[in-house]
Every structure is written in C-alpha cells, then in structure tokens.
C-alpha cells in the first residue's frame, strides 16, 4: 500500500534486474543523493563532520571492502587495520614524493598499493581457510603495524614517528591540512563513497561476484563447475584491499591529518570494521552502510545521552558501549545472521503488503 506499485511493470530483462526495480525505491535513492550533495554541504559544521558524517563515510568504504572478502567470498580476515595502515602510509609517501599531483590520484594510488599487498597476504587462502586464514590475516595485521613502526623510511625519518598530511587542494579548495573546511572534507569522502559503492554493487551482481559467492558457498563444487579458485580468491583480496586502502588514505589525509600507526590502525580497528559487517549484514552493500552508521552513531548517542544528559562517567559509558556491541553481535549471529540489512528487507516487504497480512 505504501509503495503503490500499480502500473510499475517491466518490459525487459535489464529493467527487471536493475538495482532498484521498484519506482519508489529509485525516487527515495535519488532523494537521498540529492540531500547528500545539495543540502548537507550547506548546513554541515565541524562537529557534524568530524563526529558523524566523515567517519561514517570512511568506515562505510572499509566495511564494503571487508564485506566483499568476508560476506561475498567467504574468506575471513582480521587484518583490516593493517591494510588501512598500508593505504595511509602509501598516500603519505605519494603526497610527499609527488606534491604537484592531485590528491585524488594519491588516494587511488594508495588503493592500488594496498591491493597489491592484499594479494600478497591473500596467497595463503589458496591452501587454508576458516580459522587458519583468520590467523594468517591477523599475523599480517601485527606484521604491518610493526613494519611501519620500525622502518623510519615510511614516516620520512620523523623524530615523533608520526605522519602528517600536508595541505592539498582539489579545484583550488583545500581538502587536507588544517585549513580544510568541514563541507570540503565531507564532499570528497562522499564522492568516493558513491563511486565505490556503485562499483561494488555492479561487481557483486556480475560474473566476478557470482564466482565469489560460489567459492563462499562451496569451493569444491565451484571448482567442479568451472570457477577458478585462484582467480576468485585473489580478486576478492585485491578488490577488498583496494577499498580498505582508500578508506585508510581518507582516514589519514582527510579525517585525522596526523596518525601514529599503533594508535590509529591497531587490532581494535580490524575488529571495529568486522563488527560493522556482522551487525549490518554479511553479503550486503546496504548492510555495510547500516553497520557503519550504527557503530559511528552509538558512541555519539551514548555520550550525549549518558554523559551529557545524565552525568555518567565517561569510562562507564565506554564500557557500556562494548557491552551493547557484544550483546548485539551475539543476538544477530543467533537470531538474524544477515543483520540489519535483512531486517530492512523484511520491513520493506511488510510495507509493500500492508495492511494485508501476506
């Protein structure tokens, strides 16, 4: 009843297989894009950018990347923080080595460097899987953090061991450095999110995505019917690492501006992104956005409600946040393994039929 689908019919296979086959869904999607590009940049301030919008967009990219590997290809990874660090340090080296090149190319270059590193650490997936692959990627996490700490070349021999993003512009507008406006930070992240989400959606619906899902569901059967496990697994690692590397580059250059690898890209970052896709929904692009929004908004909500409104201690609120996230992960794994994305799909189907029961 809410959707009013009368007269919304398809006359071709392409129309029937499009991402938003229902007209109202397409209108809602376009309305969200219009608000994101034409409304929010004019009303956003530093608090909303730094506390909510920019981290949400960056974590959404990282969650999409990890979801491609874990949700679509079934290869468990605990090295997200390390691969984000690769993207951040690659972007820093490119920014300092080629100061006249556009920052967008630096970020894309950081993604390609991370993709190469991801393929290297993805090679064990050809022999091992499950828990053993998780341990291998966890070793990559610790090794990469150790490497960036111990080799001074990566941070240009800085005495502090930190890397600092120099000011760079796009069309004459600073997007990195201390003079960056909130709307500029937001817009450059938004452009990357829209393009990368569109690419991920098309990849997962095409031949490459189907080969990933075949490997995920049963790799032996997939190999029997002609799916090349070497190609499928390594492309999943490459594409996933490319997305995570771009997220790490944006996290360093646009969001933080200065990072120390152990603090910014430690093991907690890997688990944070993993929790996003578990709560949001494995094997779902929308679930990546939903999980990122939940994990970004939850600490802000608890801080404003409990610390600001009720006067609770900050440490108690932080512990409560961990308890809530842990409880939700258990609930979702038991009751609804497909996460918030599946709840959204169920709710939408109910609205399509309301007020009729079925």
pLDDT tens digits along 51-94: 999 999 999 999 999 999 999 999 999 999 999 999 999 999 99
High-pLDDT (> 90) share of the chain, % = 51
- 203's CB contacts (< 8 A; 6+ apart) are 68, 209, 239
Which pLDDT band holds residue 147 (cuts at 50, 70, 90)? Answer: very high
Burial of residue 342, with CB atoms counted within 10 A of its CB: 0-12 exposed, 13-18 middle, 19 or more buried? middle
Burial class (CB in 10 A: 0-12, 13-18, 19+), 188: buried
Mean pLDDT of the residues in the chain: 89
Beta bridge partners of 170: 173
Token pair belonging to 300: 């802000």
Question: Kind and range of the H or E element at 135?
Answer: helix 131-150
| CATH number, domain 39-353 | 1.10.3470
Q: What is the pLDDT of residue 83?
A: 95
Structure confidence at residue 36 as a pLDDT band (50, 70, 90): very high
Q: Which residues of 153-166 are buried (b: 16+ CB within 10 A; e: fewer)?
A: ebbeeeeeeebbbe
């Amino acid at each position: 009843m809410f959707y009013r689908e009368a007269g919304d019919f398809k006359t071709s296979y392409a129309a029937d297989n499009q991402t938003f086959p229902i007209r109202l869904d397409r209108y809602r999607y376009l309305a969200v894009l219009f608000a994101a590009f034409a409304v929010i940049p004019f009303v956003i301030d530093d608090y909303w950018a730094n506390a909510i919008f920019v981290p949400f967009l960056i974590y959404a990219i990282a969650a999409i990347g990890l979801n491609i590997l874990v949700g679509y290809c079934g290869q468990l990874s605990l090295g997200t923080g390390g691969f984000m660090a690769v993207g951040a340090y690659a972007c820093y080296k490119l920014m300092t080595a080629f100061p006249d090149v556009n920052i967008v190319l630096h970020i894309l270059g950081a993604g390609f460097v991370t993709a190469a590193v991801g393929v290297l650490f993805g090679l064990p997936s050809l022999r091992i899987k499950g828990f053993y692959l998780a341990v291998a990627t966890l070793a990559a996490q610790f090794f990469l953090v150790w490497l960036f700490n111990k080799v001074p070349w990566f941070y240009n021999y800085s005495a502090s061991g930190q890397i600092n993003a120099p000011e760079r512009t796009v069309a004459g507008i600073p997007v990195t450095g201390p003079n960056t406006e909130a709307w500029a930070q937001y817009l450059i992240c938004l452009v990357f999110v829209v393009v990368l989400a569109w690419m991920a959606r098309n990849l997962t619906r095409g031949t490459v995505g189907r080969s990933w899902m075949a490997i995920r569901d049963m790799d032996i059967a997939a190999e029997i019917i002609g799916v090349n496990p070497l190609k499928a697994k390594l492309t999943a690692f490459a594409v996933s690492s490319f997305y995570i590397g771009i997220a790490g580059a944006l996290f360093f250059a646009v969001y933080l501006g200065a990072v120390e690898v152990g603090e910014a890209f430690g093991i907690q970052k890997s688990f944070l992104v993993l929790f996003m896709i578990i709560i949001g929904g494995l094997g779902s692009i929308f679930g990546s956005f939903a999980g990122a929004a939940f994990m970004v908004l939850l600490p802000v909500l608890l801080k404003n409600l409990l610390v600001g409104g009720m006067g609770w201690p900050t440490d108690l609120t932080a512990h409560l946040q961990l308890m809530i996230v842990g409880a939700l992960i258990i609930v979702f794994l038991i009751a609804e393994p497909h996460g918030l994305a599946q709840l959204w799909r169920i709710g939408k189907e109910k609205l399509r039929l309301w007020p009729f029961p079925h």
